[in-house]
C-alpha cells in the first residue's frame, strides 16, 4: 500500500522542464541559457528552493522571469560565501582563545584529556569529547610530517593550541560545553575584552550566551559549508538575547522569535575585528544592491526578510559602520 501511494516523481528532460516553467507563468527570454542553468543547478534546487519566492497560487507572479530566479540563487550563494568566510575567521580566533585560556590554568601534559579538568557534572558528555580529541591524535601521531605527529615524536605531547587546528568546529563547541564554569567564564571575559579593544564598548558575555552563540554559529557554518540554502534558514533554538549588542542595531524586543540568521549576524560582531565586520556588512549590502537592480516582480526587502533582516537595514545602519571605523 505504501509503495503504491508514494509513486516516484517522473523524470523531465530540460525541454520538458522549460515547458513546465512556462506553463506556470515564468517568462524565459533565453531558453538555452536557462537550460544550462538548470543543468548546473538542477531543477529541484533552483525551482523548489528559490521559486517559492516568486510564486502565487500555484503559479509564478505576473512578470516573474527565469533570470530573476537565477539571480536569487546567485545572491544566496554570495551571502552564504560571505558568512562562511567570516565564520571560519571566528572559528580560528575562538580556538586560539580557548586554547590559551584553558592552558593558562591547566598546564600539565594532555590536560584536556583529563576528565578532572572538565565539568565533572557531565562525565558522559566530557568522555565523548575527550574520545574525539584523542582519536584525532591517534590518527595523525605516526605521521612525522603532520604537526600532531611531530609533537608526539619530538615532545611526547600535543599541546591544545596545536590540536585545536585539527578538530572540527562541532568538536570544539563540545569541548567548550565540557569546560568547567570557571574556564567558560574566563573565555567569555577574554572575548568581552577583545570586543572592547575592537570597538571601545563594554559588553557582558555570559557562558550561557557564549555556548548558545557557538552552537548557532556551528549550525550556520555547517549549512553554509554544505552549500545549503540560507534564505529561510532557522536555528534549532532562539539565539540568546544580548541587550547591549542588539540595541546597537535597533533590536529591543526580547519576546520576538530569534531563530533567523539576522540574530547571528549581530552576534558575529562580538568576535570580529572592526575591519572584518565592516567587510561582512558591506559585502552583504553590495549583494543586496546587485540583486535589487535585477528584480522586477519582487522587492529585495521581501527576500531579506527571509534572512530576518528588517526593512532597509543596511541603509539605516550604514552610519554605525562608519562610526566604528573612526
Helix axes 66-105, 169-178, angle to 10 degrees: 40
- How is residue 308 written as a grid cell? 530576518
pTM greater than 0.85 (yes/no) = yes
pLDDT interval class at 318 (50, 70, 90)? confident
DSSP secondary structure of 204-268: ---HHHHHHHHHHHHHHHHHHHTT---TT---SSPPPP-HHHHHHTT---TTS---SHHHHHHHG
pLDDT, tens digit, 9 for 90 and up, residues 192-240:
999 999 999 999 999 999 999 999 999 999 999 999 999 999 999 999 9
Domain boundaries, the chain: 78-283
Give the whole-angstrom CA distance, residue 14 versus residue 38.
7
pLDDT of residue 322: 61
pLDDT of residue 265: 98
Average pLDDT, the chain: 94
pLDDT of residue 323: 58
Answer whether residue 1 shows pLDDT above 50.
no
In the numeric block, the cell 568547567 is attached to 180
- Percent with pLDDT over 70 in the chain: 96
- The answer for residues whose C-beta is within 8 angstroms of residue 240's C-beta and 6 or more apart is 208, 209, 212, 213, 258
Return the sign of the alpha-carbon dihedral for residues 134, 138, 144, 147. negative
Residue 65's φ and ψ, nearest 5 degrees, are: -125, 160
DSSP state of 27: B
- How is residue 313 written as a grid cell? 537595514
Q: Which residue has the higher pLDDT, 47 or 191?
A: 191
Answer whether residue 3 shows pLDDT above 60.
no
Q: Are 175 and 112 in contact (CB under 8 A)?
A: yes
Give the whole-angstrom CA distance, residue 112 versus residue 127.
11
Give the whole-angstrom CA distance, residue 262 versus residue 277.
14
Q: Are 297 and 68 in contact (CB under 8 A)?
A: yes
User: Judging by beta carbons within 10 Å of its beta carbon (0-12, 13-18, 19+), is residue 175 exposed, middle or buried?
Assistant: buried
pLDDT interval class at 49 (50, 70, 90)? confident
pLDDT, tens digit, 9 for 90 and up, residues 134-150:
999 999 999 999 999 99
pLDDT of residue 244: 95
pLDDT interval class at 10 (50, 70, 90)? confident
- The answer for residues whose C-beta is within 8 angstroms of residue 174's C-beta and 6 or more apart is 125, 128, 129, 132
Give the whole-angstrom CA distance, residue 246 versus residue 241.
7
> Which of 263, 261, 267 has its CA nearest to residue 303?
261
Answer whether residue 16 shows pLDDT above 70.
yes
Amino acid at each position: 500500500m505504501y509503495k503504491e501511494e508514494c509513486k516516484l516523481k517522473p523524470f523531465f528532460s530540460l525541454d520538458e522542464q522549460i515547458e513546465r516553467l512556462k506553463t506556470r507563468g515564468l517568462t524565459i527570454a533565453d531558453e538555452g541559457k536557462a537550460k544550462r542553468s538548470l543543468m548546473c543547478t538542477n531543477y529541484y534546487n533552483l525551482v523548489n528552493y528559490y521559486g517559492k519566492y516568486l510564486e502565487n497560487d500555484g503559479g509564478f507572479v505576473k512578470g516573474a522571469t527565469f533570470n530573476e530566479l537565477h539571480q536569487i540563487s546567485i545572491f544566496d550563494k554570495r551571502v552564504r560565501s560571505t558568512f562562511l568566510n567570516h565564520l571560519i575567521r571566528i572559528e580560528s580566533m575562538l580556538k586560539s582563545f580557548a586554547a590559551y585560556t584553558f592552558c593558562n590554568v591547566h598546564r600539565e601534559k594532555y590536560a584536556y584529556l583529563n576528565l578532572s579538568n572538565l565539568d565533572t557534572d557531565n562525565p558522559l558528555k566530557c568522555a565523548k569529547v575527550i574520545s574525539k580529541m584523542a582519536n584525532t591524535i591517534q590518527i595523525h601521531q605516526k605521521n612525522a610530517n603532520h604537526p600532531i605527529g611531530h609533537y608526539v615524536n619530538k615532545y611526547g605531547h600535543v599541546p591544545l593550541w596545536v590540536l585545536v587546528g585539527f578538530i572540527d568546529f562541532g568538536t570544539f563547541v563540545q569541548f567548550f560545553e565540557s569546560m568547567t564554569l570557571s574556564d567558560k567564564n574566563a573565555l567569555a571575559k577574554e572575548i568581552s575584552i577583545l570586543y572592547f579593544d575592537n570597538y571601545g564598548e563594554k559588553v557582558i558575555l555570559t557562558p550561557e550566551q557564549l555556548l548558545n552563540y557557538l552552537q548557532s554559529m556551528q549550525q550556520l557554518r555547517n549549512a553554509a559549508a554544505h552549500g545549503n540554502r540560507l534564505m529561510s534558514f532557522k536555528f534549532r533554538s532562539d539565539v540568546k538575547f544580548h541587550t547591549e549588542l542588539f540595541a546597537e542595531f535597533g533590536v529591543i524586543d526580547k519576546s520576538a522569535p530569534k531563530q533567523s540568521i539576522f540574530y547571528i549576524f549581530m552576534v558575529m560582531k562580538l568576535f570580529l575585528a572592526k575591519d572584518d565586520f565592516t567587510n561582512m556588512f558591506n559585502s552583504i549590502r553590495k549583494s543586496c544592491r546587485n540583486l535589487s537592480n535585477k528584480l522586477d516582480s519582487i522587492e529585495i526587502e521581501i527576500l531579506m526578510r527571509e534572512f530576518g533582516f528588517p526593512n532597509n537595514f543596511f541603509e539605516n545602519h550604514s552610519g554605525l559602520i562608519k562610526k566604528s571605523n573612526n
